[in-house]
Amino acid sequence: MVVPHHPAGARLARHRLADDLADVVPPTLLADLIAVLAELVGNSIRHARPLPGGVVRVAWQLRPSAEGPRIQLRVTDGGASTGPRIRTVGLDAADGRGLHIVAGLATRWGIERDGMGQRVWAEFDPTPMAHPDLVTAG
């Protein structure tokens, strides 16, 4: 989906993700997906340039597996002069924790760059420890 490079874009992306996946993934996993997507879109809007047309591209992909769905979130924007990175912040800092949240909730995350901009992605593997409601009785 394409959302405006504006704070309202993050809200639109969160609501669409919740609507699309509410009946597909467990509630605890959905909450983690929404939190990570909010951070990725928010970072894009705050720190990166928009894609042509003043937008950010947001996507998610589910891949079934025996353990449960494997999910990847992707946010593509026009890039920035410096790439996303986890920062060390003080306890009283007003911001700077977003990628800590992404790293803590996602199985892995990363950045891809090309001549048009950058894509930040986060992947979620189904693991019983992280999401016990994914486990089904045998």
Spell out the domains of the chain, with CATH numbers in brackets: 2-134 (3.30.565.10)
Burial of 27 (0-12, 13-18, 19+ CB in 10 A): exposed
Answer whether residue 110 shows pLDDT above 80. yes
Mean pLDDT of 25-37: 93
Any idea what the Cα angle at residue 53 is, between residues 47 and 56, rounded to 5°? Answer: 45
Mean pLDDT of 64-77: 88
Q: pTM of the predicted model, to two decimals?
A: 0.81
Burial of 59 (0-12, 13-18, 19+ CB in 10 A): middle
Mean pLDDT of 80-85: 71
